Amino acid sequence: MQLPIVLDGSEKATLQNQIFDQIRSMIIRGQLKIGDPLPATRELSSQTGVSRNTAVLAYERLIAEGYVQTRPYVGTYVAATAPHTKYPSAVRCDFDSSEADRRSIVDESNDDHAAPPRIHSLVNRRRRRLIADFWVGRSDPNSFPLKAWSQLIWNRLKTAGAALTEYNDPAGLPELRQAIADHLGPARGVIAEPDQVVIVGGCQDGFNLLARLLVRPGSPAVVESPCYQGAAYVLESFGAQLYPVPVDHEGLDVAKLPQVEGAVAYVTPSHQYPTGVTLSLRRRIALLSWATEHGAYVVEDDYDSDFRFVGSPFTALKGLDRGERVIYMGTFSKCMGPGLRLGYVVLPRRLVDGANRLKTLMNNGQGWLEQAAMADFMASGGFGRHLRRIRQLYHSRRDALLAAMEKHFGACEVLGDQGGMHLAWRLPEGFPKASDVEARALDAGVGVYALAAGAAIHFGPDDESDRFLVLGFAALTEREIEAGVARLASALQGDRRPRDITAAMRSKQEAL
Ligand SMILES: Cc1ncc(COP(=O)(O)O)c(C=O)c1O
């Protein structure tokens, strides 16, 4: 059989990615159905003129993401888990919230919803000087592309004219919105027009914009458990009724989604915060079906998906979103630096006008100069080169952290090490609680963090959540990583070493 695949050698996307994207689209659009055979890689390579290896790699990615499967000696077929099969495209948009158990993180005695009581452990707190601080979510300050950036800023200043001093489009600079739309297609499988992109001051600003748009006092909000504090606190501060849904080795446990109407669901499918697990394709489809059936919006926080070290990155949830239920959120905080305060939200078309009006109301848009420099950086290809460079750097640092943990603690059970800028370590039986390890490490000059201190909220029992440490590795050199882990090991000397965990358990992402 032949598939209508057309490859363009002048496109930015590699031939392998073009094949992947086109087959994936045929599956999502229903042109290829469950059980339909795909041509053999040899056939595809002679049809399209690519090498056999390119065709094999494209198929491997389709298999890894669950779109197709192989039957030994028979061939490659559209998998039973492929999206179009179960995911209805009907849209409902009612916001009629219903009563349910209130699982709030608000201290009941505290009626100040603008300032939740546990706000102290958000990501930007100041820390004392440490030998090695494995604080989560920090990019490497030395990797900021300073030379290119100063040149871009200076070029823009020279030609700024009135743009520097006038009000600009509150939804963001058109060139930047265009550059983001161009980037998201090949990088994340998200197809959007520039007018669906709103530039925000990082995800945190985006959470506020979306909460203001979608949340009313008492309206239901699904959050992951454990969950990123920055998002949960904002939802809570707008009076949302929180429905924590547990996360296991496949990500959000969709079977436990509440049967309520008109919810907002905040999720981190690529690299769950804090556990680092990836939401499986099967569950992505179920989550989208749930959103469609219940008129919910899913906020996909794709904060650190630029960094994937094992296999290809999963297509974003938004890339599967035929019913326009997903709001995609990206940030430059991880790939450039949080000091920029620059991020973006990609909206379903029906939310665009409302979001633009709110953005005007809230702050009339982000600063012009840095948006302009970022747009130029992306359009010139500098951003792509920068991403490739730091992806490699963070990969080496992750390897250094895993190696140091193994050297000093034996085989460890690690979650979320396939990508991102941090991993989670489930402490073995016989080890002190994570909060005790955190305290002893700090005394020894090392920062490692239990979930609550690591910008996460766990809604389950404390003794369960206090078994995890989160360790950020992106901002530390390999030498600092080794020194920090060595120091941690000597601070904990005397405690049982986790030698009884088998090597096979590492990275296996067992249920939390
Ligand atoms: C899950 C998650 N989302 C978003 C962010 C970043 O937000 P911002 O873009 O506001 O810097 C972080 C920061 O660590 C995070 O951990």
For the residues of 456-483, what is the DSSP string, one character each?
EE--S-HHHHTTEEEEE-TTS-HHHHHH
CB atoms within 10 A of CB 7: 16
**pLDDT of amino acid 454:** 84
pTM: 0.79
CB atoms within 10 A of CB 311: 13
Phi-psi region of 455 (alpha: psi -120 to 50; beta: other; left: phi over 0): left
- Residue bearing the CA closest to ligand 1, atom 2: 303
Cα 328–chain centre separation? 10
Ligand 1: does its nearest atom lie under 6 Å from the Cβ of 481?
no
CATH architecture, range 169-380: 3-Layer(aba) Sandwich (3.40)
- The three-class DSSP label of residue 298 is strand
Output the CA 204–ligand 1 centroid distance in Å. Answer: 7
Our mutation pick for probing the ligand 1 site, out of 122, 123, 266, 336, counting the most ligand atoms within 8 A of Cβ, is 123
Output the CA 1–ligand 1 centroid distance in Å. Answer: 46
Regions of the chain where pLDDT drops below 50: 85-121, 496-512
Ligand 1: does its nearest atom lie under 6 Å from the Cβ of 81?
no
d(CA 429, CA 299) in angstroms, rounded, equals 36
Output the CA 99–ligand 1 centroid distance in Å. Answer: 30
Q: Which run of H or E residues covers position 244? A: strand 241-248
Superfamily of domain 132-138+385-505: Aspartate Aminotransferase, domain 1 (3.90.1150.10)
Output the CA 312–ligand 1 centroid distance in Å. Answer: 22
Q: Tokens representing 274?
A: 């804090």
- The three-class DSSP label of residue 484 is helix
Overall residue count recorded for the chain in this entry: 512
Amino acid, single-letter form, for residue 346: V
Output the CA 269–ligand 1 centroid distance in Å. Answer: 14
Ligand 1: does its nearest atom lie under 6 Å from the Cβ of 420?
no
- Of 424, 418, 472, 425, the C-alpha closest to 136 is 472
Q: Which run of H or E residues covers position 457? A: strand 456-457
**pLDDT of amino acid 512:** 46
**pLDDT of amino acid 323:** 92
d(CA 248, CA 250) in angstroms, rounded, equals 5
Q: Cis ω on the peptide bond leading into residue 83 (within 30° of 0)?
A: no
Output the CA 229–ligand 1 centroid distance in Å. Answer: 9
Output the CA 11–ligand 1 centroid distance in Å. Answer: 32
- Residue bearing the CA closest to ligand 1, atom 15: 303
Residue appearing with tokens 């951003």: 383
Phi-psi region of 423 (alpha: psi -120 to 50; beta: other; left: phi over 0): beta
Our mutation pick for probing the ligand 1 site, out of 333, 334, 473, counting the most ligand atoms within 8 A of Cβ, is 333
Assess contact for 188 and 271: CB atoms under 8 A. Answer: no
Our mutation pick for probing the ligand 1 site, out of 198, 228, 332, counting the most ligand atoms within 8 A of Cβ, is 228
Ligand 1: does its nearest atom lie under 6 Å from the Cβ of 123?
yes
Output the CA 439–ligand 1 centroid distance in Å. Answer: 24
* Closest atom of ligand 1 to CA, residue 231: 3
Q: Tokens representing 341?
A: 């305060």
**pLDDT of amino acid 495:** 56
**pLDDT of amino acid 241:** 94
Q: Where are the alpha helices (DSSP H) in 345-469?
A: 352-362, 368-379, 382-409, 434-443, 462-465
Residue appearing with tokens 């088998």: 502
Measure the CA dihedral 23/27/29/30, to 10°: 140
Q: What are phi and psi of 422, to 5 degrees?
A: -150, 165
**What are the residues whose beta carbons fall under 8 Å from the beta carbon of 35, sequence distance 6 or more?**
77, 78, 80
CB atoms within 10 A of CB 349: 11
User: What are the domain boundaries of the chain?
Assistant: 15-85, 132-138+385-505, 169-380
Question: Span 15-85: which CATH code?
Answer: 1.10.10.10
Ligand 1: does its nearest atom lie under 6 Å from the Cβ of 416?
no
- Residue bearing the CA closest to ligand 1, atom 13: 137
SS3 content of the chain, % helix, strand, coil (to 5): 40, 15, 45
* Closest atom of ligand 1 to CA, residue 206: 10
